[in-house]
Amino acid sequence: MTSETSAIKQQAWLPTFLGWILANPVLVAGMLAVIIPTMLLVAHESWSTEQGAHGPIVLATGLWLLIREWHKAQPLFDPPAGKTVAMLFVPLLLLYFVSRVSHIVETEGFLMYGLLVVVLFSFAGWRAIKLMWFPLLYLLFVLPPPETFVAAITNPLKVFLSHGAVSLLYHLGYPTASAGVTIQVGQYQLLVAEACAGLNSLISLSAISLFYVYLRHHAHPRYALLLFLTVLPVAAFANFVRILILVLLTYHAGESAAQGFLHDFAGMTMFMTALITIFAIDHLIGRIWPGLKGKAAEPAIAKAT
């Protein structure tokens, strides 16, 4: 296939997509009736906060990846039977309605997403959905995770990191002590809030790490999963560095300096530390275990053509 023919095929998705919209006006209207109110709620409740600020970026890059993979998956399209689709769609729609009425943003967002995936499945089939696994997984980071799940991870992490930082500084000669998530340094008292214990960085780092490894290597799912599992310890290490910086800033420059511009600077330092660590782990795994980064999607298309 020439590069010219390939380019023409890559640009052909737009008229096809517009034709599908015109051919299915009722379905499109129903999807919009679900998407618009839920995404407005997510934008208001999550994207406007520091924890969910990565949402719009993930949405834009995720849709770009989905469109790209949709084009690659077209030879594998095999729509399932209507009964199969109905068995998945109807229960999700009922649960979505209950969640919408209850104004529970976490469950409403994920149920909306489930409905959209089922609609996609009804047109593409299971084989094509499997090929598009990464964009579908990545787009989940647009939605806020359940607070109970986040608290179960970050609360023990806050206590562990605060005790670790205090212990290290105490052995270095600083007058530090801790009780739970409260740190005493000199005459100052600090609270290790969620922002200093992985809540902000954990979700965004997970999304960026997955996007990085997929875009650079188009990696096998097992490799993406391996790198994803490193995110939690990397985020913990980066936040440990941030807590140390903030405690030292508070002790040497005062509480006002530590809570102002330098607080934000410490957060940027933490995030860059985490990203560099992720890149270093990726490079190290590539040197030790190069076969783990093998491509998974191309053979599936080759077999279908």
Whether residues 115 and 168 fall in one domain? no
302 burial (CB, 10 Å; 0-12 / 13-18 / 19+) is exposed
Give the chain's largest Cα–Cα span.
Answer: 72
Burial 271-296 (b: 16+ CB within 10 A, else e): bebbbebbeebbeebeeeeeeebeeb
Whether residues 136 and 152 fall in one domain? no
- Residue 305's pLDDT is 44
113 burial (CB, 10 Å; 0-12 / 13-18 / 19+) is buried
Domain that holds residue 118: 3-142
- Give the separation between CA 278 and CA 212, rounded to whole angstroms: 10
- Residue 114's pLDDT is 93
- Residue ending a domain, among 90, 108, 142, is 142
- Residue ending a domain, among 142, 162, 197, is 142
Whether residues 192 and 231 fall in one domain? yes
Whether residues 217 and 253 fall in one domain? yes
- Give the separation between CA 268 and CA 277, rounded to whole angstroms: 14
Whether residues 182 and 261 fall in one domain? yes
What band does 217 get if pLDDT is binned at 50, 70 and 90?
low
- Give the separation between CA 78 and CA 124, rounded to whole angstroms: 6
Please name the residues in contact with 46: beta carbons below 8 A apart, sequence gap of 6 or more. 52, 55, 105, 143, 144
Phi, psi values for residue 91, rounded to 5°: -60, -40
Model confidence over 129-180: pLDDT tens digits? Answer: 988 888 898 899 888 887 777 777 777 877 888 888 889 988 988 888 887 7
What's the token pair of residue 154? 């970050």
Taking residue 246's Cβ as centre, other Cβ atoms within 10 Å add up to 23
Whether residues 99 and 235 fall in one domain? no
- Residue 302's pLDDT is 42
Greatest mean pLDDT among 86-100, 189-203, 266-280: 86-100
* Overall number of domains in the chain: 2
Residue 196 is among the residues annotated as catalytic for this protein: yes
- Give the separation between CA 240 and CA 235, rounded to whole angstroms: 8
Model confidence over 122-140: pLDDT tens digits? Answer: 888 899 898 888 889 889 9
Q: Is a pLDDT exceeding 90 seen at residue 44?
A: no
Whether residues 247 and 177 fall in one domain? yes
- Residue ending a domain, among 121, 142, 163, is 142
Contact (Cβ atoms closer than 8 angstroms) between residue 258 and residue 275: no
Distances from the Cα of 148 to the Cα of 39, 40, 144, 145, 154, angstroms: 21, 23, 12, 9, 10
Give the residue carrying structure tokens 């990696």.
Answer: 219
Whether residues 138 and 162 fall in one domain? no
Whether residues 130 and 222 fall in one domain? no
The pTM of the full predicted model, rounded to 2 decimals, is: 0.72
Whether residues 138 and 158 fall in one domain? no
Q: 43, 62, 54: which is closest to 199 by C-alpha?
A: 54
Residue 287 is among the residues annotated as catalytic for this protein: no
- Residue 20's pLDDT is 61
Please name the residues in contact with 128: beta carbons below 8 A apart, sequence gap of 6 or more. 73, 74, 76, 77, 78
Whether residues 235 and 288 fall in one domain? yes
Whether residues 65 and 157 fall in one domain? no
- Catalytic option among 68, 196, 222, 287: 196
